[in-house]
Amino acid sequence: MADCAPDVYRIGVLSVHGEKNDTMNQWLPTAEYLSTNIPNTTFEVIPLDYDEVTLAIANEDIEFFYVNPMVYVEMARLHGAGRIATFQPTWNNSSYTGLGGVIFTRSDRDDINSLQDLKGASFMAVSENSFGGFLVPMGELKNSGIDHKKDLGELTFGQTHDKVVLSVINGDVDAGSVRTGALEKMVLEGSIDIKDIKVLDQNEYVDYPLLVSTDLYPDWMFGKVASTPETISNKVSIALLSMPPDSNAAIALDSTGWSVPASYSPADNLMKDLRVSLYVDYGKVPPAQLLVQYWYILVLVIMLFVIVEVHSRLKLEKAKKARLEESNDLKDLFTDIMRHDLMNPVHVIKGFSDVLYSKETDIEKKESLKIIIEQTDHLIAMIGSASKLAKLESNTDVEFEVQDIGNILWMVADSFSLAFAEKDMKLDFRSCGEYPSHVNNIIEDVFSNLISNALKYSPRGSTVKIEVLDEGDSWKIMVTDEGDGIPDGIKPHVFERFKRADKKGIKGSGLGLAIAKRIVEIHNGSLGIEDNPSGSGSVFWVMLKKA
């Protein structure tokens, strides 16, 4: 892709089941709409199958794309693709939210009445790359204790929703699955009678008009490749979110337009749970690591004999620990009481201030009330942070489990995507495999604090970079910003309570980094800061032991 933004922008559209002509006809009005509403631009539609669209995104042969949630998660994790808008479908002239799967059999199959009855049955899904027509239904089967690879009699793929439905009705297979809306579409076309269908474990959701057997997930995603400039991405986002529901573009797509991009972490978790796509080997322990764990167990067995010899010493330590825990419990109780008694009057002050602000017409008085509200918000944040830090100081009994640091980072970073877009900033994070570590979920607070600080202290249009480096027996997580940096004289104190660089207009309690440091210490890791070697700014890093 050229350094300067081209006049022509390409949209790669995932075309399912080889229906590229239909895809082109549906998307040409959207391309014309974007070309008309964004001056000096021309948008082209390129229908692509699954392999073609993933290659085009990886090689950055296109600027934008429209894909299902599974493809988006793959491209976001592997190639830094970003979200722009989520598809907003319509049914009977009303919009609805959510994508799911329908698991069904013939209505006269008295032997199949629930998902549990599918064990040993022949089953047809759409395709392995179909999110709603395969992945979501298989997740629902797993939640019901059915492994689709082992418990189904035979699993085949029809490649189209229509073929799956007709194969079930004709008795070629015992049951099948399609995405939500497929059955209703065939009924509308007159190709099936809904009376011939029995939906298994049917769910009902408020304001959701379609038959569904599963949880609901975000719909298809309009996104951008990593190198697409933020300037054109923001213009496309505004144009899509402003698309009138009665426009030719919306009507051609059977939609009411587009909504703000949803969080696709549920899709990411589903893929991980089913071990598909980039998670095929997720959770598998390499032979070398298995050997290390085996010798570790042997060491533990030897240590049991040592424990027997020092039993009396342990009893003494246990008594000391009990007294310490009692002291910590009292400290936690005191902290909770203080937090409760402080929060109540503060919330009262804020409530009255908000009411007075909304009713006040005098500009000078309104400005004074605004200052009171801002300072009250600051006080609430500081009380909450102080309470959290106090509990962490006394907490020595935290449970850990093996988790992928990269996945946690990705979900935390994903939650800041809109905030970065508002400052026209780029978040550069590309995952290269898995980074297993023994952590507790509170580690998310560390990553969230570092990314939030980088966002606060960086200028508009700059880039925040996240990296995970292999440092032997540890992972080094680095968050690099392009802000003003931190003077050498202040660096040793930034992790102390109520210490931070003088940044006027930046909100915060002054406890965020102190909390982050304590959480890292609980994980037996380390936290530090250094100058950005590539220019202005800082690099905050965290060291966590490998699992």
Q: What is the DSSP letter of 131?
A: I
Predicted pLDDT of residue 482: 93
Edge-first strand order for the sheet with 154-157 is 154-157, 122-125, 175-179, 101-106, 197-199
Most confident of 328-332, 366-370, 382-386: 366-370
User: What are the tens digits of pLDDT across the range 106-164?
Assistant: 999 999 999 999 999 999 999 998 999 999 999 999 999 999 989 999 999 999 999 99
Contact indicator for 269, 139 with CB cutoff of 8 Å: no
Q: Which of 19-23, 302-306, 348-352 shows the lowest per-residue confidence on average (mean pLDDT)?
A: 302-306
User: What are the tens digits of pLDDT across the range 370-392?
Assistant: 777 776 665 666 565 555 555 56
Q: What is the DSSP letter of 485?
A: -
Q: Encode burial over 147-166: b for 16+ CB neighbours within 10 A, e otherwise.
A: ebeebbeebebbbbbbbbbb
Predicted pLDDT of residue 16: 76
Q: What is the mean pLDDT of residues 488-514?
A: 64
pLDDT grade for 518, boundaries at 50, 70 and 90: confident
Give the span between the Cα atoms of 21 and 9, in whole angstroms.
Answer: 20
Predicted pLDDT of residue 136: 95
Residue type, 446: V
pLDDT grade for 248, boundaries at 50, 70 and 90: very high
Give the span between the Cα atoms of 201 and 377, in whole angstroms.
Answer: 46
pLDDT grade for 309, boundaries at 50, 70 and 90: low
Percent of the chain with pLDDT over 70: 78
Give the span between the Cα atoms of 58 and 278, in whole angstroms.
Answer: 14
Q: Could you please report the per-residue DSSP string of 487-501?
A: -TTTGGGTTSTT---
Q: What is the mean pLDDT of residues 390-398?
A: 59
Contact indicator for 228, 98 with CB cutoff of 8 Å: no
User: What are the tens digits of pLDDT across the range 428-465?
Assistant: 987 778 899 999 888 988 998 899 899 988 999 999 99
Predicted pLDDT of residue 193: 95
Q: Encode burial over 378-409: b for 16+ CB neighbours within 10 A, e otherwise.
A: ebbbbbebbbbbbbbbbeeeeeeeebbbbbbb
Is pTM beyond 0.75? Reply is: no
Give the span between the Cα atoms of 360 and 362, in whole angstroms.
Answer: 6
Q: Which candidate, 494, 515, 513, places its Cα nearest to that of 389?
A: 515
pLDDT grade for 169, boundaries at 50, 70 and 90: very high
Greater confidence, 340 or 454? 454
Predicted pLDDT of residue 495: 84
Query: How distant, in Å, are the alpha carbons of 72, 124, 177, 437 from that of 80?
Result: 10, 34, 31, 23
Q: Which of 131-145, 484-498, 532-546 shows the lowest per-residue confidence on average (mean pLDDT)?
A: 484-498
Q: Could you please report the per-residue DSSP string of 201-257?
A: T----TT--S--SS--B---EEEE-TTS-HHHHHHHHHHHHT--TTSHHHHHTTEEE
Neighbours of 65 (CB within 10 A): 27
pLDDT grade for 344, boundaries at 50, 70 and 90: low
Q: Which candidate, 12, 92, 32, places its Cα nearest to that of 248?
A: 32
Q: What is the mean pLDDT of residues 473-487?
A: 93
Residues forming beta bridges with residue 177, ordered by sequence position: 103
Predicted pLDDT of residue 299: 47
pLDDT grade for 497, boundaries at 50, 70 and 90: low
Predicted pLDDT of residue 480: 95
Percent of the chain with pLDDT over 90: 54
Residue 396 has pLDDT above 50, yes or no: yes
Q: What is the mean pLDDT of residues 205-228?
A: 94
Q: What is the mean pLDDT of residues 516-521?
A: 88
Predicted pLDDT of residue 466: 94
Averaged pLDDT of the chain:
83
Most confident of 191-200, 288-297, 498-507: 191-200
User: What are the tens digits of pLDDT across the range 277-308?
Assistant: 878 766 565 554 544 444 445 445 545 554 55
Residue 414 has pLDDT above 60, yes or no: yes
Neighbours of 72 (CB within 10 A): 28
Predicted pLDDT of residue 338: 47
User: What are the tens digits of pLDDT across the range 49-86?
Assistant: 989 999 999 999 999 999 999 999 999 989 999 999 99
Give the span between the Cα atoms of 276 and 135, in whole angstroms.
Answer: 9
Q: What is the mean pLDDT of residues 190-195?
A: 94
* 267 CB-contact burial (10 Å; exposed 0-12 / middle 13-18 / buried 19+): buried
Neighbours of 179 (CB within 10 A): 25
